[in-house]
Amino acid sequence: MSASPEILRSDKDGLCVLTLNRPHKLNSLTVSLFEALLLQLEEIAISTATIGCVVLRAAGRCFSAGHDLADLEAGETAPEPQFQAHVIEKLQNLPMPVIAAVHSHCYTGALELALGADLIVATQNARFADTHAKWSLTPIWGLSQRLPRRVGIAKAREMMFTCRTYTAAEAERMGLVNLVVPDDSLDAEVEKMARMILEQSWFSHRALKKLLRETDGMPIGAGLAHEIYYGAGFGPDFQSRINAFLSKKNNAPGISTV
């Protein structure tokens, strides 16, 4: 396990786990935390041969209470304009699937961070909210674009205008969360999902993420054409996977289709 003051990292058998590590501050988000996260993301992005899935989780009582307001009030100094937005975009654009593992609070800036993941798994006690309007703020880390794409424009308006808190069950029903698990089973259930992902072709995962990103927002005709003419096609592990299936089929006569 490698560590920075605010981000922990653990790699094992293709799975990279990043942990927000400010539990004494409810993992509130600071510039220094984003700087530590960016360093890890830059390394992960070029590690496609050894990393096939990433999990973003948090230590302590909650995923994150959101943007550290004390840091904001003190006049936080980022290394470049829109720095946090660029880090979340880096997370979103990782070539491998990313799972956000959310427990307890996931509010505003924390929700923007979680929306950078491909999948969100939440505990039953998880709570989600966008409170920008409560503080006379507007999103600058991507929420106004990612939230409607995940839950639909009507539900996004509801979340943004009311600032109310949503339970994990409500978040699952609206499509914000992919899976809700018992409070004491988050790590185990997330690893189970990650291992299922890792069993599939890492080539396909990278190609699928690229295809989905490039066609997002296209009319269906243009999207279909892009898939047909610019899709990656067969991967280098195609033949070995087919051979393994056929070998298994020959040993199990009941299996008759791919």
Please state at what angle helix 83-92 crosses helix 31-45, rounded to 10 degrees.
30
* CATH superfamily, domain at 2-199: 2-enoyl-CoA Hydratase; Chain A, domain 1 (3.90.226.10)
Longest alpha-carbon distance in the chain: 69
* Cβ atoms of 111 and 139 closer than 8 Å: no
The rounded distance, in Å, linking the Cα atoms of 138 and 84 is 14
Q: Which amino acid belongs to residue 189?
A: E
Q: What is the pLDDT of residue 249?
A: 72
The rounded distance, in Å, linking the Cα atoms of 254 and 96 is 34
Q: What is the pLDDT of residue 126?
A: 98
Q: What is the mean pLDDT of residues 97-126?
A: 98
**In the chain, where does the domain assigned CATH 3.90.226.10 lie?**
2-199
Give the number of residues written for the chain.
Answer: 258
In 3D space, the residue among 161, 178, 60 whose CA is nearest the CA of residue 114 turns out to be: 178
Tokens of 247: 């070998």
Query: Would you give the end-to-end CA distance of the chain in angstroms?
Result: 39
Q: What is the pLDDT of residue 168?
A: 98
* pTM of structure: 0.92
Q: What is the pLDDT of residue 157?
A: 98
Going by pLDDT thresholds of 50, 70 and 90, the confidence category of residue 244 is: confident
pLDDT tens figures, 144-200? 999 999 999 999 999 999 999 999 999 999 999 999 999 999 999 999 999 999 999
Going by pLDDT thresholds of 50, 70 and 90, the confidence category of residue 18 is: very high
Q: 3-state DSSP helix/strand/coil percent for the chain, to nearest 5?
A: 50, 15, 35
Q: What is the pLDDT of residue 75?
A: 66
